[in-house]
Amino acid sequence: MMEHVFVVTGASRGIGAATAALAADAGYRVVRASRSAEESVGDRGWDAKCDVSSWDSVQELMSRVESRWGRIDVVFANAGVSVDTSFVSDAGAKPSEWTDMVVTNVCGPAFTARAAMPALMRSGGHLVLTGSAAGRGVRPGNLYSATKWAITGLAQAIRAEAVGTGVRVTVVQPGLVDTDAIPASRAADPKLAPEDVGRAVLYAVSQPSTVDVNEILIRPTGQAAHR
């Protein structure tokens, strides 16, 4: 029997790196994909260069993984970026700088899902997407929040189309996580560790094949619902 394969995008740091490490500990062969990766393939771990904003790059990654390791069982579409925005003032990034965030955060998971689904249907696998608690409520002037609203809708659309294929779809929606993307204004707020989110991902994918965990909302103790 072939060993199960777990692909993580945005795996160079934060949630992606933590989840990849936990998946390896759980016995998976792990593909750690990121824009900055230096290509390196071992028996159980693979650092793979991939830009999720490029359909060709994502499609090539999934093809290479299935060709080399014979299957793909879990894909964690985690890669994302954040910039501060405002629709009424010059605060934050200029509108010309917003495009990369929108393409990475919305097209990236969509491209990842489309590229991975054929392999996941063959294995009866699991697609996990990183959403955000910020995608469940109004955040004034926050385009990042809107991209995470999109991920909730994307997960639901994929799940609806995947009915009957055996593929499970989960969106994980973390609150504030202790990464280098935290704005200075929230430095003192309660935070999750990246490993906290990784454990939520492993919980979802470890359920019996008859159980589809649709959504996981996870916040640090003490975080207000509107933050």
144 a catalytic residue: yes
41-to-18, 30, 31, 71 alpha-carbon distances in Å:
19, 10, 9, 16
pLDDT tens per residue, range 142-152: 999 999 999 99
Distance CA(15)–CA(24), nearest Å, equals 14
Q: Given a cut of 70, is residue 1 above it in pLDDT? A: no
Global pTM value: 0.94
- The per-residue DSSP string of 90-138 comes to S-SS-GGGSHHHHIIIIIHHHHHHHHHHHHHHHHT-EEEEE--GGGSS-
Q: Residue 28 above 70 pLDDT?
A: yes
pLDDT at 191: 93
Q: Are 125 and 75 in contact (CB under 8 A)?
A: yes
Residue 102 main-chain phi, psi, to 5 deg = -65, -45
Q: Looking at this protein, which amino acid is placed at residue 103?
A: V
Residue 189's pLDDT is 81
* Cβ 191 vs Cβ 153: under 8 Å: no
Instruction: Using the predicted structure, report yes or no on whether residue 117 has a pLDDT greater than 80.
Output: yes
Q: What is the pLDDT of residues 166-219, one digit of tens each?
A: 999 999 999 999 887 676 667 778 899 999 999 999 999 999 999 999 999 999
Catalytic member of 144, 150, 155, 170: 144
Give CA–CA dist 219/193, Å, rounded. 10
Rounded to an integer, the average pLDDT of 47-54 is: 97
Q: What digits encode the pLDDT tens for the residues 53-106?
A: 999 999 999 999 999 999 999 999 999 999 999 999 999 999 999 999 999 999
Report the pLDDT value the prediction gives residue 187, as an integer from 0 to 100. 72
